[in-house]
Amino acid sequence: MGRIPSGRHFLQIPGPSNTPDRILRAMDRPVIDHRSADFAELGSACLAGMKQIFQTAQPVIIYPSSGTGAWEAALVNTLSPGDRVLAYKAGQFATQWVKVAASLGLKLDLIEGDWRYGVDAGLVGEHLSEDRGHEIKAVLAVHNETSTGVTSDIAALRHAMDEAKHPALLMVDTISSIGSMAYGHDAVGADVTVGASQKGMMLPPGLGFNAVSAKALAASKQATLPRSYWRWDEMLAHNERGFFPYTPATNLLFGLREAIAMLAEEGLDNVFRRHDRFAEATRRAVRAWDLEVFAQNPAEYSSVLTAVKMPEGFDEAALRAVILKKFNMSLGAGLGKVAGRVFRIGHLGDFNELMLAGTLAGVEMGLALAGVPHTKGGVAAALEYLTEQNRD
C-alpha cells in the first residue's frame, strides 16, 4: 500500500488560501430564499462590509464568479468595441487579463515589463503623454502579481496618470492582495478595483468583486461592449435593497459575512502587519538557505507570497512533488515564462506563526530530500525573527 497522509493537508499555494473553520461553519447551513427579508439582511451586510474592505465610499459589486469574471466585468461595463487599453505586463496574471481584453475586441497598447519588478509608473506616464488625442480609455495594472511575488505602487501610477493629465480609467487587480495588504480604492484613485474571494478573504473560490468610482459609473452609461450577466446598472438597482438580479451564491455570502467580521475583529491594520511579518520571516528563511527571492526591489516585496528562484539546473516541479509526497504540502508552481524556475510559498489569509513554521520546515526538508543545493538554517532564521517580533 502507498503511504496514507496523516494530519491536515498544508495548502500553501498563494490562493486559494486555507478556509478557516469559523467560515466553513458559517456556510454549513441550509440555503435560504434569495428573495426573502432574511436574505436582504445578509446581502446588505455583505455589500456594506466590502466597502470597508476596499476602503471606499463607492459601490462594491459582488458577482458569483471567479476573479477572471470580475476582470471581464470591469472591461465590458466601461469600454466600447475598438477602444484602446494600455496594459503593463509584468507577470502571468497581468498577461491573462490582457488576453481577456483582447478577446473582447479591445485594442491593446502593451508595455512589456521585467517580471522581477513592478509597474514602472514613469513609463506608463510617458506612454500616456504621447497619447495627445486621449485615445487610450483605460490603464490595466496588477497590484500584487501572484506569479512573481512582486507588488506595484498603485498610488505612484495614479500620480503619473495625473501628471500626464490623461483621462483614462485606472483599473487595478487586487485579487491576491485585498484583505491581506494595504490598499484603499478611494485613496489610490482607482476607477475599478477587481477582487475575488479565495485569497485574503479566506473563502473558497466563487465570488468576484468590482469596486467602482463615480467616473467609472459615468463611463458605463456610454460603454457599448455587450454585457448582460455583468451589468453594473442592474446589480446596483437590486443591491439598493440587499438583493441581486439573479440567483446569488447564497452560502458563499454567509461565509463572506463571517470573513468580513473576522477581519474587522482583528482590525485591517493588524491584518496587514501580520502578513508583513510572515513575509519578512519567509524571506529570511530563503536567504538563510542561500536561495534567491525572485522579486528584486525590496520596496516591491509581496506580503502574501514569496516566489523563490531555483538554482540553475533544478526544476521547481520536482521539488514540489517531493514536498507533496513526503509532507502532504502544496506549494505554488512557476507560471508562464518562469515555469520550472520558480516555486511560490503562500503565507496569506487565516495563517499564524506555527503554520508558517510548519510550512518552512516542509520546504527545508524538501530541499534536502530533492537534492537542491542549499544551506541549512532557514527555519531557524525565521523563528528567531518571529520570536523577536512577539516579545512584549
Q: CA separation (Å) from 6 to 13, 326, 327?
A: 19, 11, 9
- The string of pLDDT tens digits covering residues 13-72 is 999 999 999 999 999 999 999 999 999 999 999 999 999 999 999 999 999 999 999 999
Does pLDDT of 2 surpass 70? no
Whether the per-residue pLDDT at 81 is higher than 50: the answer is yes
* pLDDT band (50, 70, 90) for residue 1: very low
Residue range(s) occupied by CATH 3.40.640.10 in the chain: 21-264
Whether 5 has a pLDDT exceeding 90, the answer reads: no
Comparing CA positions, the residue from 128, 193, 134, 112 lying closest to residue 160 is: 128
Q: Quick check: 323 pLDDT over 70?
A: yes
Residues spanned by CATH 3.90.1150.10 within the chain?
Answer: 10-17+267-389
Q: Could you give the CA distance from residue 119 to residue 153 in angstroms, rounded to a whole number?
A: 7
pTM attached to this predicted model: 0.96
CATH of 10-17+267-389, one of 3.40.50.2300, 3.40.50.10890, 3.90.1150.10, 1.20.140.10: 3.90.1150.10
Has domain 21-264 been given CATH number 3.20.20.70? no
